[in-house]
Structure 1
Amino acid sequence: MGDNIIRHLVALAATIICLLSFYAGYIAGPRGWWWAAFSALIIYGGIYKLVNK
């Protein structure tokens, strides 16, 4: 596999983890979802840049 594909797979795995935490936040109630939604976007970008180095 190419490096670019591996970077995307790692970032996708982190995003899936965040989406699962989003689901947990959604179950927590209407005021508990936002932290997981914003963290999903931030973590995807952060992990992709981290793996890019």
Structure 2
Amino acid sequence: MLSAAIILLVLALVAAFLGFGGIAGTAAGLAKIAFFVFIILAVLGFLFGRRPTV
């Protein structure tokens, strides 16, 4: 998930550099959403992940 956010961020930076404003904005928005979803899933995974059995 984090790799998808990084790829979308790089795509947004390349599109912005080349002057494609609409594509850059869309890719940046998708990267932001993917990043926050990753953060939420990572926190939930740390909280509710595997617990040692007694």
CA RMSD of aligned residues (A): 2.4
Task: Point out where structure 2 has 5 or more consecutive residues left out of the alignment.
Answer: 46-54
Match of 1:45 among 30, 36, 46: 36
Matches within 5 A, 1:14-25: 14-25=4-15
Residue-pair matches, total: 43
- TM (norm. structure 2) is 0.51
Identity between Structure 1 and Structure 2 (%):
21
Task: Point out where structure 1 has 5 or more consecutive residues left out of the alignment.
Answer: 1-9
- TM (norm. structure 1) is 0.52
The structure, 1 or 2, with the larger RCO (C-alpha pairs under 8 Å, 6+ apart) is 1
Which of structure 1's runs of 4+ aligned residues deviate more than 4 A? none
Larger radius of gyration: 2
